[in-house]
Amino acid sequence: MIEQYDDKTIRCPRVGGEVNFLYCRSENNMFPCGWIVGCWQNRIDINKFLEDHYSNEELDRIFAPPRPKVESLVKIIDKAKKRKKEEE
């Protein structure tokens, strides 16, 4: 059952306050936060939880290294330019 740990709480280093496991497992577009293993490894068997509830492809997506900021900004700018052209 994926909800089994949802009520457990920890202090989140990213948020700077207390969050429950439900937040951690769904904050990344309904996928777990990339930090979930480090944050929860001493509280639950997080590796087993992830293996039981996510495919290898989903895990690869969850733990993919973040894109550089410049790359993200270029993509956002390109999308905005395309939208502007479509509106003209």
- Split at pLDDT 50, 70, 90, the class of 68 is confident
Mean pLDDT of 51-77: 91
Nearest of 34, 38, 3, 41 to residue 21 by alpha carbon: 3
Nearest of 65, 36, 39, 29 to residue 50 by alpha carbon: 36
pLDDT for 72 equals 84
Higher pLDDT, 39 or 86: 39
* Whole-number Å distance between alpha carbons of 19 and 22: 8
Task: Give me the helices (H) in the chain, please.
Answer: 21-26, 36-40, 46-53, 56-62, 69-87
| SS3 state of residue 10 | strand
